[in-house]
Amino acid sequence: MQKIIEPRPPPNAGFETDVIALGNTFSKVLLVSEGMTMYIFDASFGSLDPLSDLDVMVIAIDTKVIIHWIHFLTKNTTGEHTFTAYYDSNFYFEPAIIQTNGQLVSMAKHNLMAALSKDETMVSEMERIEAYAKAYISKSAVSLDNFQVYPNPLSQGFNQDAEIQQYTAMAYSGQLCFENYSPITAAKLATTKSEGLVAVGSLAICGVFGTDVQMAFINDKKKNQAWRLVAAFEMLYNIKMHQHGEGNNVIIKSKYLTRLNNVLLHSNYVCPKDARNRITRSIVRYSGEKTVLLFLILNLLNAVVEDEVNKNDCPTFGDFETSIDECIEKVRTAIIKRAPSNSLRSQFRTFARK
């Protein structure tokens, strides 16, 4: 099998330049057999800096790559730490198919519209996202069929045995996707990924499927608002999951604020007046900073959410008390109101095992 390495393009300056200079970095590694790409190791979508983890998405035609990864982890221990925590690195497996044009593409991207949130699945997806996020925050496990998986790799219970079990669950869920790709099997696979995203719309907004798909979702003006509400719910929980500090010293990465705004930027209910544009301009200014104090942008968060849930009214943009939890509750209420009464419920549960 031939190996093709696409080098990571050097940035202009900074920490990433120093990392690339050390060697062993790549944008993509392709494994090709008889002219057909079978596996792609993609590290192009993540940044290299002291505040970011190292994510590698592995797009593959079968689950053999995970089995080999498990064997590698078994032989290469890191003492008290798991590989994931020690190297701050996440291995994200995606089942893939070879399209008629010979291109290898993930099933998630190939089935993007079919797996997108719908009115009938909104509540189920909301509950799944919340179970995942709460397990991350409390450093506990989520039940997935006969497995226990840990959204937070720093959980006390996430030892090497648990890490191996988690990748075994990933192989199991990936095989379910190969046999029958559906929103249910896709969600099971997503749940096995530490520090991951559950909803397909969230993945699209965050650029996992490429810039073209990302911009198409940001600029989507179709009537279906279901994916926007579910993705907004997940973006808010991402802020809650990844905040650091206490009181007025709580910080978040500015990219989470940008992502929330991008989800709702072209919603059916976006304010047509300059108030909404002012909010976006303020968010863009913060995007130039890696991190931001949470209390400084709570009004912006609330205004973006309020603009969505108040239908055709424009949001207030003043000095008022709010919180991440209040924003989450607003979106939760909007999802429940929109969902039909017979909408699917989630089967995921959170264990308080720390």
**Which DSSP string do the residues of 272-325 spell out, in sequence order?**
SSHHHHHHHHHHHHHTTSSEEEHHHHHHHHHHHHHHHHTTTSPPP-SS----HH
Locate the DSSP E strands across 61-146: 89-98, 104-106, 141-144
* Residue 345 included in any domain: no
pLDDT digits (tens, 9 = 90+) for 72-118: 888 877 667 787 777 767 788 999 999 878 889 999 999 888 888 88
Model pLDDT, residue 352: 46
Picking from 29, 351, 25, 20, the residue whose alpha carbon sits closest to that of residue 191 is 351
pLDDT of residue 317: 65
The per-residue pLDDT for 330 is 94
Q: How far apart are CA 301 and CA 249, in angstroms?
A: 17
Residue 101 confidence (pLDDT): 82
Q: Are residues 84 and 222 in the same domain?
A: no
What percent of the chain stands above pLDDT 70?
Answer: 87
Mean pLDDT for 265-272 is 89
- The verdict on residue 123 lying in a domain is no
What is the average pLDDT across 128-133?
A: 94
Q: Is residue 143 part of a domain?
A: no
* pLDDT tens digits, 305-324: 999 998 878 887 665 668 99
179 and 258 share one domain = no
For all residues of the chain together, what is the average pLDDT? 85
Vertex 128, ends 125 and 133: CA angle to 5°?
A: 125
Query: How many CA atoms lie within 13 Å of 203's alpha carbon, on the beta-carbon side?
Result: 26
164 and 274 in one domain? no
Confidence of residue 353 (pLDDT cuts 50, 70, 90): very low
Find the mean pLDDT for residues 6-11.
74
Rounded Cα distance between 115 and 262, Å, is 20
**Backbone torsions φ then ψ of 13, nearest 5 degrees:** -165, 175
- State residue 321's pLDDT score: 67
- pLDDT level of residue 48 (50, 70, 90 thresholds): low
- 38 touches 61 (CB < 8 A): yes
Mean pLDDT of the 119-146 span: 92
Res. 229: pLDDT tops 90: yes
User: Pick from 322, 316, 333, 227: which is nearest to 271 by CA?
Assistant: 316
The domain tally of the chain equals 2
How high is the pLDDT of residue 139? 95
Shared domain check, 168 and 290: no
Query: Is residue 142 included in any domain, yes or no?
Result: no
Does residue 163 sit in the same domain as residue 30?
Answer: yes
In a domain, 135, yes or no: no
The residue-averaged pLDDT of 209-224 equals: 85
Work out the average pLDDT over 235-254.
Answer: 91
343 found inside a domain = no
Higher-confidence residue of 141 and 35: namely: 141
- Predicted confidence at residue 187, as pLDDT, reads 85
For residue range 136-194, list pLDDT tens digits in order. 999 999 999 999 999 998 898 988 889 999 999 999 999 999 999 887 888 889 999 98
Rounded CA-CA distance 110/354 in Å is 37
Secondary structure letter of residue 2 according to DSSP: E
Q: How many CB atoms lie within 10 A of CB 347?
A: 15
Q: Which residue has the higher pLDDT, 353 or 268?
A: 268
In the structure encoding, which two tokens stand for residue 27, read together? 């944008």
Average pLDDT over residues 267-285: 88
Same domain, 175 and 246: no
Are 163 and 33 in the same domain? Answer: yes
What's residue 258's pLDDT? 93
3-class SS at 125? Answer: helix
Boundaries of domain holding 319:
202-338
| Pair (47, 181) in one structural domain | yes
Best-predicted range by mean pLDDT (96-105, 266-275, 329-338): 329-338
Tell me: do 333 and 185 sit in the same domain: no
- Single residue among 132, 163, 194 that ends a domain in this structure: 194
Q: Checking DSSP bridges between strand 28-33 and strand 36-42, what pairing results, if any?
A: antiparallel
68 and 188 belong to one structural domain: yes
Q: 163, 70 in Cβ contact below 8 A?
A: no
Cα separations (Å) of 117 from 24, 132, 144, 151, 229? 38, 17, 20, 21, 9
Rg (CA), the chain: 20
Q: Nearest-CA neighbor of 130 among 114, 113, 151?
A: 151
Among candidate residues 194, 227, 252, the one where a domain is terminated? 194
**pTM for the predicted model, two decimal places:** 0.85
Stretch (H or E) spanning 170:
helix 160-179
Of the candidates 129, 156, 119, the residue with the CA atom closest to the CA atom of residue 348 = 129
